[in-house]
Every structure is written in structure tokens, then in C-alpha cells.
Amino acid sequence: MRDATVTTPRMNRRQLFVSGSTLAGAWIVGIPVTSLLADDGPGDRQLGYFIEIRPDGDVIIGSNQPEIGQGVRTALPMLVAEELDVEWSTVTVRSMPLGLVKTDDGFTWKYGSQGVGGSTGLTRNFDYMRELGATARGQLIRAAARRWEVDPATCRTEPGVVVCDDIAQRAPYAELIESAATLPMPDESPTLKAQSDYRIVGKAQQPVDLEAIVTGKAKYGIDTREPDMRFAVIARSPVLNGRVAKIDASAARGIDGVLDVFEIEGPAPGAPYQILAHGVAVVATSTWAAIKGREALNIEWEPGPNATDSTEQFWADNEAMLNGTGQVVVDDGDYDAAMASATHTVVRRYRVPFANHAPLEPQNCYAYVDGDRCHIIAPTQTPGGASRSAAWATGLDRERIHVDFTRVGGGFGRRLTNDYVAEAALISKRTGWPIQLQWTREDDMRNDFFRPAGLHEMRAGLDGFNNVVAWTQRLASASKYYRRPNMTDDKLWEAELYSDDFPRRIVENLRLEYFNHPIGVPRGSWRAPAHTANAFVIQSFIDEVADATGQDPLELRVKLFGEERELEYGNHGGPTFNPGRLTRLTKFVAEKIDYARERPAMRGVGLAAHFTFGGYAAHAIEVSVNDAGEFTIERIVAAIDCGFAVHPNAVKAQLEGGTVDGISTALGLEITVRDGQIEQSNFHDYPLARIGVFPAAFEAHILPYGETPTGVGEMGIPSAAPALTNAIFAATGVRIRDLPIKNQLRDALA
């Protein structure tokens, strides 16, 4: 939009929205923008607005958030379109770049905060997007009222048209835009629609980009093609925290197309990560030539301090730690006394392994450091973080770094971290060329911020009436808060135990205890972070307590979750947790799968439910087991309560996808370390589940609750795995306590 001239930059009282017109006669509503590289920067120097209505009636809505498959690129524009009152089918969605504005004490967001993680992409923007649409609609009404010389209060809208019934006049929006552009923006907040009046939001809408995806036209980071671009790969240290000792690049330089080979300095052991590893970059005229050049490198590695790390030792250490005393981080009531007076006690240990994010689009980034400025095009969940990573790599002021972000081929938390952006910027800075850095699958498997692994010990004490009166979770793990700036050892547990999770404030005598393991495996946020581990452990343990005390797993859950009430919840997803919503979901999935029906031998149903970052989900899974000890998932019923479902199609998709993710990871996925090296390399030894694992009988249900949406991206995972292992137990009596499941059932039944 080089030709955009903002003619009437009048801020409203929140100093958010302005409107103006373009030279082409379109009306734009959004935010004042002076592009960071407005003069002659690379690419199309972009929209500063969210809404554009053109003289021909086309409506374009800007999308300011990264689309990682969660549907935010559809859901947020749906909110704008709803309040603007236009037909969804007339809307085109266009990507906005990262918008940062320099302030006295740093930077602030130009288009609202941009970044998707923690299932907050929709909820953080829910009010903002609706107010934007409603403000624009109000301006169109005022423009029509002025033309007709009537009170704006006598006008209303139909999709794309302002109507005044009193004088029987109608005006399409396109006829009002010229006038709307001359009106001052209002000082007061717009009135938003009642949800009962919604025509777009809350209804099934076709996702944006659907046709582009199925025709191969959708562009991901990996599809970036810029003039004079060179292609790069990096050989990274195979040993955690290893360094390059010696490089012989003569053979690599002899590969046709190889242009340059040089060392990339990684972080010191223990230092915060900017990039993950030391390495050697190979730059070439094509990706394949770079890969061939890398194969021809002869590198001697200095193994460093983690060369003897192994997951085998990690687990042995964790077992030993749990026999000692850790950091008590929650100690409600009198746990010791309650446990001492319990009629029954149940004690179990569970193991959750390291896991790789494995987005299907391997990490990649385009970077062009051109003198005192830098252009980044990246698949990222956090474009602001990409800007910081590029600033670290180049030493440039962030004002000089322009970040465009593409559709992302899977996020899962991996692309909250922009180490690959820093790498690409380092290579471009060194060579002066526009660079596309490409990771191979092997690179991605071995260099990740893995989901932390942990060994959990659960203990429950029950009184003579089978009420749970004491509960503890003792966790020995490798905290995600590893190598982070400003982190102290006493806070490490906060990433791994969410202190207000179930059964806080439900079981009176509660203790949580943590032990950190210092293994050198990089760790990070893996979709629904600690919830995947803790839901598996807690929801398995409820079934074990039920079994040990002769109770039914459904009845025990209903008893523990109880009636609807708001409990204080201070962790992410708060401020409250209503366990009764889990009761409702659990009963719902149990009824749908006909839980009460007697099953034949070697067939069983498992249940699980969990509260994740503000949203609620439950699973019921039915399995059958054959004579060889192999199990088949016969039926899956999943249900989510995400409050008000803005984009139900995507809500169901996230529930389905989360369920698949949870089951796939539980079945066979584990990252292991030996001699300081990650042992897995590709999908043959990190076997993501294929379609055949999942039955045709796979239902996803939305149970609406109130008018406030929660996020939906992570809620579908946590309860899937324990529902599966609970089903295996129901069918066979074999309890799976260590993930992944792999062949444990077959071995147990042999």
C-alpha cells in the first residue's frame, strides 16, 4: 500500500483507530502507520489498517496474528466482519507485518500484541477486533445519516448496506466510503452486538485460505522466494553443548553450487539460548547443493560438558531423587497427619518422556541484512521475538528490522522460540546475501526445545468412606525454565507443576514437591506444556485410586470434580477454575460412549478430563485387544467447553487435532539421549501416528458455556492419553504408567 495517504488521522480516545482514504479511493480504518522501511525496503510495504472498503464494494480485513493452523486468521476477521456487518463471503483477509513502535522505554505494539501461544490468540483480541468493526460500521452509519440529513439513531445496517426505514433509503457501504473518510472518529466506545444477533460469529464459516491450501498456492516460510536469494544449511554439534574443534571444508567447497562455509558460534554451556548450538554454515546456490556440501564437511567436534548425558541415567537419578526430600512448593492443610490417619493409601509412579515438537514444516527463515537494515520473513509464533533474535544477531536497532511472517506449517510451541531466525540473520550478515536457511528433518529432530521429561510419584490417602483426604504429587524432572535469563533455582518448579491445578482446594491436605534434574537437553514449551504430563499422571491415578478402593472411575471423578463452583486459580488460564464444568463434560462423553454398557472381555472404555489454560475438555476412548496383545482404538468421543465458540469449525478441528496429538505422542513418541547425543533422527524412529490408528468413530463435541470465549489450541491434548491408558486398563487390567505405550501391553500379556 505505497499509495495509502491517511487524510484524517483523528485518534479516538483510546488512541487506537484512525480512518482515511487511499489514492485508489478506498476507505481504510485502522492504525496510523509509517512503515519502518517505507522508502525502498524489500517486499510490499504493507497495510497499516485492519479494514479496507473499496469503491467496488470489496472488503479487505487485515490479520495481525500468526496462523499456525489454529484458525486465528479466520476467527479474528470473523469478529471484525460481524461488527462491521458485511457478508463473510465478500471478505478477503490480508496479512499484516509485525508492527512495533519505539517508545521512550523500549517498543510497543502498533497493531496490538502479535503472537500466538498459550491459547490466547483469540481471547486477547476478542474485544479489540469487535470494537474495530463496530467503530467502522458507526462511521458508515454517520456518513449515511449526514447524506440523508437524518439522526444516525434512525439508521441501521444490513450486510454491506446502511438503511433508514423512516425515509425508506438504502446506501451500500461502497457509496458511503468517500464521505466516511472525512468524518472525525468518535470519542466514545462503540456499542457491540448482542451475541444472539450474530450472523457470522459462532456459525460454521469457510476458513480463510482453504482453497489456496488445497491448490498448493498458500505460502509458508519455506516457500519464500526473493531476488538473489542463496540457500543455507548448518551442521550443528551432534553432542549437547559441543563445539567445533577443527573444520576441513575443502571437499565441501568442491561441491558444485557451494559458495561459502564458515563457523557459527553457539552459546556457552548454561548460557541463555539465542541459537541452540555451535555449528558450521554452508551457503550454496540451492538447498540441495547446501545439503550435499554439508555432507562433504569434515568436522572434528569437541564434545564439551554434557558428553556423558543419557536418559538412562536421567531416569535412574530421578528414581533416586524421589526417595529423598525435594522442594515443597504447595503444602495445604496437614498432609502428614491426614496420610497417617488414612484407611487406604495408594502410591504410584509415572514417567513422561522428552518429546519433540516435529512441526511438519522444518524450521526455516529468510533473512537479508542489507547494511543498516534487515528484512526477515519467517514462519513464527512470535514475530516480536523474531525481531529480537534478528537484532541480537545483527546488532541493529529493532526499528531497522522489518519482520513479515508467513502461514506456519505447524507451531506446537516450537516457534515461540526464534533461534532459526537468529541463525539466518547471522549468515546473511556474514555473507551480505539474502539467505534462506533451511533445517532438514534430522536437524529438527536433534535440535529442539524438547518437552521436559519427568518422573512423577502420586500418593493418595482415603478415609473409611472412600473419600480422598490427602494427596501429593512429587515430580523429578528437567524444568522447562532451563537456561533462561533472570531465573533462579527456586522458581524452576513453576513451569512443571501448576500449583492451582486439580485437586487444589478440592482435596484439603495437599502437598506438591519438586526436584530438578540438570540434564543438558534443551527444553521448551510443547503444546499445553506441563498439562500434558500432569493430566496423564493425575487422570491415570484417579483410575488407580478407584481400582484400589473398589470405586467406579466415572463415579469417583464426579465425586472429586463435584458441582459447579468457581475456585481461585492463579496460574495461566485463571482467575478461576470451575471443576463442575469437568463433571459436565465427563458425564457427557461417558453417556455418548455408553459407558455403563457391559463390554465383552478384552474391551474397555477409559475416561479423562482436564482444565487447560482456561478451557475444559474430556475424552472417552474405547479399545479392543486381540489375542496377540495388540490393541485397537474402536471409538473416540471428545468434548470441549471453551465458553463461547467464536469459530466452531476451528474449535472442533483443534479438539480433533489435539486428540490425535495426545494419542500419537502417547503411543510411540520419545526422545532419548546417549553419550550426550539425541538418538532419534527422523520419522522412522520418531513415529508420528498415521491415519490408521484413528477410528472412523471419532466424535468431537462442543458444549457451550456462557458468552466469553476461551482459547482452544491446547485443551484437546491433555486428557487424550490418560483416557487411552485407562481404556487399556479397563480392557485388560494392565496399567500403563510409562509413556510412550509402545509394546508394553503386548509384553505384559505375553
Partner 1 sequence: MATYEFRVNDAAVEFDGDGATPLLWVLREPLNLTGTKFGCGTGQCGACTVHVNGRARRSCITPVASVVDSRITTIEGLAASSDKLHPVQQAWIEHAVPQCGYCQAGQIMATADLLRRNKSPSDADINAELTNICRCGTYPRIRRAVHRAAELLASEESNDA
In the complex, the residues that contact partner 1 under the rule CB under 8 A are: 67-71, 206-207, 209-211, 213-220, 222-223, 225, 231, 256, 286-288, 292, 358-362, 407-412, 438, 440-442, 649, 653-654, 656-661, 664, 682-684, 688, 690-694, 696, 698, 700
Alpha-carbon distance of 598 to 592, in angstroms, equals 15
Compute the distance between CA of residue 88 and CA of residue 92 in angstroms, rounded to an integer.
9
Of 101 and 693, the one with the shorter C-beta distance to partner 1 is 693
Considering beta carbons, is residue 543 or 622 the nearer one to partner 1? 622
Q: What is the 3-state secondary structure (H, E, C) of 228-267?
A: CCEEEEEEECCCCCCEEEEEECHHHHCCCCEEEEEEECCC
**Integer Cα distance of 160 and 140 in angstroms:** 10
- What is the closest distance, in whole angstroms, from the C-beta atom of residue 678 to partner 1 in the complex? 16
Note the helical H segments in 153-254: 173-180, 210-214, 250-253
Q: How far is the CB of 491 from partner 1 (least distance, A)?
A: 32
CB nearer to partner 1: pick between 691 and 750: 691
> Please, which residue, 251 or 360, has the CB nearer to partner 1?
360
186 C-beta neighbours (distance < 10 Å), count: 15
Q: Which conformational region is residue 270 in: left (phi greater than 0), alpha (psi within -120 to 50 degrees), or beta? A: left
Closer by beta carbon to partner 1, 107 or else 694: 694
- 580 Cβ partners below 8 Å, 6+ apart? 561, 562, 563, 564, 565
Residue closer to partner 1 by CB (options 82, 443) is 443
Among residues 227 and 464, whose Cβ is nearest to partner 1? 227
Give me the phi and psi of 666, to 5 degrees please. -70, -35
In the bound complex, what is the minimum distance in angstroms from residue 378's beta carbon to partner 1? Answer: 15
Count of helices and strands (H, E) across the chain: 17, 33
**Distance in Å, CB of 171 to partner 1, minimum:** 33
Q: Is 319 or 442 the residue whose CB approaches partner 1 more closely?
A: 442
Shortest Å distance, C-beta 358 to partner 1:
6
Nearer to partner 1, 210 or 271 (CB): 210
Taking the complex as a whole, how short is the minimal distance between the CB of residue 116 and partner 1, in angstroms?
Answer: 12
Closest contact distance (angstroms) between CB of 624 and partner 1 is 15
The answer to whether residues 404 and 94 touch, using CB atoms and an 8 Å cutoff, is no
Bridge partners for 615 per DSSP? 612
To the nearest whole angstrom, how small is the minimum distance from the Cβ of residue 204 to partner 1? 8
* Minimum distance of partner 1 from residue 366's CB (angstroms): 13
What is the Cα–Cα distance from 83 to 77, expressed in whole angstroms?
10
Which residue's CB is nearer to partner 1, number 293 or number 553?
293
Answer yes or no: are the C-beta atoms of 200 and 81 closer than 8 Å.
yes
As a whole number of angstroms, the distance between CA 546 and CA 218 comes to: 50
Q: Is 260 in contact with 286 (CB distance < 8 Å)? A: no
Neighbours of 675 (CB within 10 A): 14
Q: Which three cell numbers stand for residue 108?
A: 510497543
Q: Which residues contact 21 (CB under 8 A, 6 or more apart)?
A: 5, 7, 27, 28, 177, 178, 181
CB of 661 to partner 1, least distance (A): 5
Cα dihedral 177→183→185→187 (10° resolution): -140
